[in-house]
Structure 1
Amino acid sequence: MPSAGLPLRRVVQLAALFTLLVLFAAQLAGALLAYVPLFVVASAGGVALDLYLQQRQPGLIAVLGKVRFEAVSRQLLRDMLIVVALVRLPKVNAMEERALVLLLLGCYGLHFLCQAVSVLVRRNRTLPILTRNIDTSGLRLSPAPPRVLARLQSRRLLTFMLPATAGLLTTSATAQNVWALAGLAASLALFVGGTVYLGTWLLPKKRTPGEARVLNWLNAWLADYRPTVGMYFSGGATSAYQANMWLGTLAELDAKPIIVLRERFMVQKIDATDVPIISIPKVAHLMHLEQSTLKVLLHPANSGKTSQVLRIPTIKHAFTNHGESDKLSSCNPYAKAYDEVWVAGPAARDRYQLADIGIDDRDVVEVGRPQLAPITPYAGPPADGTRTTVLYAPTWEGWTDDPGNTSVILAGENIVRELLADPGVRLLYKPHPMTGSVDPRAGAADRRIRTMIAEANERRGAGSAVAPGAAAELARRTAALDALTTTSFRGSADEAERMLLQSRPEEGRAEAVAAATAAWEEAYWASFPEDEHLVVTAARPGIYGCFNQADLLISDVSSVVSDYLSSEKPYAVANTSGRSEADFRANFPTVRAATILSPEAKEVPGLLAAVRDPGKDAFAAARGELKQHLLGPSDPPSLARFNRAALDLCDAADARNRRAAARAAAEFPGQRAVEETADHEVVVDDEAEATAEAASDAAEATELVEVSEGPEAGEAQQRTADATETADDEEAGAETGSEQVRS
């Protein structure tokens, strides 16, 4: 059994690494001692283990690569030991040994040639933009070459060298060179055939269009589609939820919507939607939006790349955020960079003014929270009067050292202990996904809480029965939802092929996903006994589904509280900030209608009593008032207010662009054709022709540079540091050029 401090995965990796080293040592011993059985078994075992590691332990392979013991080095060492063994065998002719060595070196030469071709193919298939839900037939994209040829050089070498290795080992066992010659010939044929086949992707029929052609296609598509309102998003792999929460709202606007991303991998992180998606990694290419009809960009999050799109003067920008709370992070001074800041209700407006960070109150627009429509309103205390479902959803510790960011460290275990002590409570524990990512104490407390819940379920026993067939129904609903939300690609598919396969939006897919999600959540909750405590950590069910199951929420100062208030159900907030209760309520408006819990959580029994008996609920009226203060009025609906704000900002963008055009016309009046002389017309024509020729030469030069110097297209989340530096340098140069053109 592995020790408690060492995960099983690490034990397996260490064992595999140790075995690989032992096999190399045994192969060396067998070669030096000319002991054929040991040598053959060790060599064959090493190849088999290497292939297994390539398939099942890519993490260990990456570690070996960092210490310069990559697949080429391992295979070269293995073949060198085979050559040593052949030299040590007296029955093998020396001249024949030299021929075998030359053929072996030929295999490596062809391997490196194939690798060079694969680099050219990958660079050619790296498009300057990526799209989804957009018809790309005009680009004539082609499917990707086999992955083993184009990307998996380690697996390609091991696989193509199998015949050679098998033949050499057979020769070492039988002293008959024919086996080695046959194996080496087969490997040479594989390398030659693979290289030639891979090279066909550089021919015109399969070749991906160059940067200039792709950007011209983008301009043509923008001119045809004529987008008006878009969402701009940039972030890490775990931040996609910040954009996904706005997909439904964006699709419902009275506008031609579009989603603009900056990271390539983010294209596949966006949930099901019919809205066109464009990923534009480079700043120079991003500036093509300036010539489009796009009027407004919505920003659900701040990022380092946000400043790059803010340079486009023809587009108005609104910061929508991805949630509101009383945290300091909800009043970021960066918000000054946007034309408008859209908030849910008066509370956020007050928050910005109290923060005194330079946000003009005239730029704050109250739009509500359209995403909260799925949350069901308060329907009174628990129906049976005995079982109370409590959702404990603490936030994470945050990037700052603000006291009381999360209750998990100081109060989490006490809260859970008090809840589990009540036999009428069913606990749903949904910690923030980033809990423990900054402060290890939070991660340790989270693990202890999960252990407490598991032990409580064991003590409670089997609990209430589950409806017959509930598990089968959940499996069926899961398969149906996965079929809608998971886009299946073959293993060899690269970004260009995915772009080709996702070139047509599936009409009604978003609505089908919403219906399938609702059906899945119903099956999910029905698959557990009604009194079983649950730890909810997966992406499904979402937080709103947990809201609808709960009679009571316990959380921290976070956007979870603001969203939950839309239901007007009772809630409590843990005060681990060290402030007094009066000071805590005064500084955090979202807790004014909450029961405040101390770190000891002694208030939990009284809180549960108030939830079960409305007569003891002292905050019922306050919750209704606070809801309107936080989220704005219910009439007109939030979506209508959001849509009105988008249309108004579009009008503001139009007005600004008309003023700019009028000023430009006044300052630089056009030349009057009637006053031009024939000689001047000839000069202008000559200059235009020279300019066109120069542009043509530049385009050809760009295409040549793209083939020889373009960035290598690896997996989106596995880029190397060198490639990142190259991209940054190119981006910086593009930014400078863009600024020069603008000025």
Structure 2
Amino acid sequence: MPARGNALTRRIRSSGGKLLRRFGLLPGGMPDGIGDDAALADATLDGDVVVYFPDTQDSLYQLRTWYGPLRELHRAQGVTIVCMDSRTAGSLRAEMDLPVVTIALDATLDSIILRSDTKLVLYVNYNPLNTAALRSRSAIHVSLLHGDSDKVVSVSNQIKAYDYSFVAGQAAIDRLERYTTLFDAPARCIPVGRPSLDTDRVEATSRADDRPTVLYAPTWEGGQSSAAYSSLNSHGPAAVRSLLAAGLGVIYRPHPLTGVRVPEYGETDRELRELVESAGGRVSTDRPLQHDFADADLILCDVSAVMGDWLPTAKPLLITRSADPQARDAATALLGMSPRLAAPDASRAGSLARELIDHDLLREERVELIEYYLGNTAPGASLARFLEACERLSARRDELWARIREQEHPAADDSA
């Protein structure tokens, strides 16, 4: 018998739960399950590809990193985004022009994927709710994730649930081979670079601030102790004050989930916003990451995906060392060669940043790592690899599914 879930889930599924969903009183991380199921009873989905995103609006940043590539994939093969939360679906419809539907019932999802002859289902995270779509055996399931990093989530055992994973480059494959047992990374991983770096590419522009500028981009507090990489509380205030005291411009880019799990991080975030704005810096919350990259001379960041995305700029970086003794890295070459900033040294961030900007002794070594992490970074190359991989897997799905259907429904014996 399938698990019935916890008491809260059972209450939400009751008639009282329906009222909670209808009036928006659900806990923040729980999808409301207000679906278009009735209207979809006999419908089919547009295109060959489904992006399954059962999350709430808090996690939309994960899907936003794929907006550009998904628009191009929609032009090539047709894409429908399937949500489990009507509020998330509403935000998606306002932000992009791809078809979006909300499906609450597993039975609706399974039948519409089969009826639509969906070839690929793409996922941008490891949400346990992804299993609703993963049940479908008529499509190929591909993990995209929303960044490539040395976080332990990048080598999660959950990767085994997906038929294939699109990864940034050889570094990701090597990381998985090193840290993930019983997983054939070379066979199951397809390097596509970072297609969003192509679609979100910006040219350097003249700056309003002519001071050398540091981008401080901490990650959030993480969902578990082994992934507690955020420097916001341990390093943030001292580091930002040190950067400003050294005469450096500061761009502060808070993570969208800051303070969601630990309220104290939200309090520190508000403190840093006030500090940076009062000093004439920028708090960046509503513009593409590539704009912040273009305006900065150095990045101060945690162990996160921005490390690899920053690499093609060829500019120096300073990576924090987590103050949480339980945090674990899935270390690769970039993390091993880069300068690290421990919490007790946060008050020296300004002088360290000045030294790295003025004397970038590791530039050539970082440039040599670009292809290892991202493959060919020529404009358009990553996007082309992404689209080609989707087309190739779609063709493979058709071959495999035709074989399965033939085994299930063999042709009548003409000799009878």
Q: TM-score, normalised by structure 2?
A: 0.81
Is 1:345 paired with 2:169? yes
Q: What is the correspondence of 1:17-56 to structure 2 with a 5 Å cutoff?
A: none
Is 1:437 aligned with 2:260? yes
- The 2-side partners of 1:275 and 1:597 are apart by 42
Residue among 80, 84, 95 paired with 1:262: 84
The answer to whether residue 102 in structure 2 is matched with residue 282 in structure 1 is: no
Match of 1:228 in 2: 48
TM-superposition CA deviations, 1:342-388 (whole Å, max 9, x none): 10011111111112243222001101111012345789xx9999611
Residue 533 and residue 384 in structure 1: after superposition, are their counterparts in 2 closer, same or farther (change >3 A)? closer
**Residues 546 and 647 from structure 1, CA distance in 2 versus in 1: closer, same or farther, beyond 3 angstroms?**
same
Q: Report the AA paired with residue 284 of structure 1.
A: A
Matched, 1:653 2:397: yes
Q: Given residue 565 of structure 1, which amino acid in structure 2 is its aligned partner? A: L
The AA in structure 2 aligned to 1:234 is: P
Are 1:534 and 2:282 counterparts?
yes
State the AA in 2 paired with 1:430: R
Whole-angstrom CA distance in 1 between matches of 2:329 and 2:161: 31
Displacement of 1:608 in angstroms is: 1.4
Cα shift at 1:562: 1.6
Equivalent AA in structure 1 for residue 211 of structure 2: R
**Partner amino acid, structure 1, of 2:403:** R
- Kept in 2, the 8 Å contact 1:326–1:588? The answer is yes
Counterpart mapping for 1:198-597 below 5 A:
211=38, 214-216=40-42, 218-219=43-44, 222=45, 227-253=47-73, 254-270=76-92, 271-288=94-111, 289-361=113-185, 362-373=187-198, 374-376=200-202, 387-402=211-226, 405-423=229-247, 425-453=248-276, 457=279, 532-536=280-284, 538=285, 540-577=286-323, 587-597=331-341
Note the alpha carbon deviations across 1:230-258, whole angstroms, 9 max, x for none: 21111012112222322221221331222
| Alpha-carbon spacing, 1:568–1:239, altered in 2? closer, same or farther (3 Å) | same
Q: Once the 2 structures are TM-superposed, how far is the Cα of residue 273 of structure 1 from its aligned partner? A: 3.0
More helix as a share of residues:
1
- Percent pairwise identity: 29
Letter in 2 for 1:231: V
CA-CA distance at 1:586 after TM superposition = 8.9
Shift of residue 588 of structure 1?
4.7
Q: 1:384 to 1:296 in 2, by over 3 A?
A: closer
C-alpha separation between the residues in 1 aligned to 2:368 and 2:114?
Answer: 44
Which residue in 2 is equivalent to 1:108? none
Q: Partner amino acid for 1:370?
A: P
The residue aligned with 1:735 is none
Shift of the 434–242 alpha-carbon distance from structure 1 to 2, 3 Å rule, reads closer
Q: Distance in 1 between matches of 2:59 and 2:395?
A: 31
Task: Compute the RMSD of aligned alpha carbons.
Answer: 3.1
Q: Is the 8 A contact 1:229 1:297 kept in 2?
A: yes
What displacement does 1:592 show? Answer: 4.1
Residues 155 and 330 of structure 2 are in contact (CA less than 8 Å); yes or no, is this contact kept in structure 1? no
The answer as to whether partners of 2:192 and 2:382 remain within 8 angstroms in 1 is: yes
Question: Which amino acid is 1:354 matched to?
Answer: R
Quick one: distance in 2 between partners of 1:449 and 1:605?
A: 19
Tell me which protein shows more strand as a share of its residues: 2
Deviations along 1:503-543, whole A, 9 cap, x unmatched? Answer: xxxxxxxxxxxxxxxxxxxxxxxxxxxxx22233x4x1233
Give the conservation status (yes or no) of the 8 Å contact 2:229–2:324. no
Cα gap change, 1:390 to 1:295, in 2 (>3 Å): same
Q: How many residues align?
A: 374
CA distance in 2 between counterparts of 1:307 and 1:298 reads 12
Change (3 A) 1:419 1:660: same
CA distance in 1, matches of 2:282, 2:207: 20
Q: Secondary structure, in 3 states, of the residue corresponding to 1:358?
A: coil
What's the offset of the Cα at 1:648? 1.5
* The structure with more radius of gyration: 1
One-letter identity of the residue aligned with 2:149: S
1:167-209 deviation line (CA, Å, top 9, x unaligned): xxxxxxxxxxxxxxxxxxxxxxxxxxxxxxxxxxxxxxxxxxx
2:411 equivalent to 1:663: no
Of 129, 151, 157, which aligns to 2:36? Answer: 129
Specify the code of the residue in structure 2 equivalent to 1:238.
D
Q: For the structure 1 residues 401 and 291, does the alpha-carbon distance in structure 2 shift closer, same or farther, using more than 3 Å as the test?
A: same
1:536-591 Cα distance to aligned partner (Å, 9 max, x none):
3x4x1233322221111111001122212232222111123479xxxx99935443
What's the CA shift for 1:403? Answer: 7.3
C-alpha distance in 1, partners of 2:86/2:402? Answer: 34
Report the Cα distance in structure 1 between the residues aligned to 2:367 and 2:204, rounded to whole angstroms.
11
Classify 1:585/1:304 alpha carbon distance in 2 versus 1 (closer, same or farther; 3 Å).
closer
Which stretch shifts more, 567-576 or 439-448?
439-448
**Separation of aligned partners in 1, 2:153 and 2:57:** 20
TM-score (structure 1 length as normaliser)? 0.47
* Cα displacement (A) at 1:453: 3.4
Structure 1 residue 406: Cα displacement: 1.1
CA distance in 1, matches of 2:368, 2:329: 15
Q: Provide the C-alpha distance between the structure 1 equivalents of 2:154 and 2:311, rounded to a whole number of angstroms.
A: 18
Distance 1:252 1:446, change over 3 A: closer
Q: Is the 8 A contact 1:375 1:548 kept in 2?
A: no
Contact 1:296–1:316 (CA<8 Å) still a contact in 2?
A: yes
Q: Quick check: 2:120–2:141 contact (8 Å CA) kept in 1?
A: yes
Q: Secondary structure at the match of 1:402?
A: helix
2:166 match: secondary structure: strand
Whether the aligned pair in 2 keeps the contact of 1:267 and 1:277 (CA below 8 Å) is yes
Alignment-mate amino acid for residue 438 of structure 1 = R
> How far off is 1:275 after superposition?
2.4
**What letter corresponds to residue 255 of structure 1 in structure 2?**
Q
CA distance in 2, matches of 1:340, 1:660: 19
User: Any gaps of 5 or more consecutive residues in structure 2?
Assistant: 1-15, 17-32
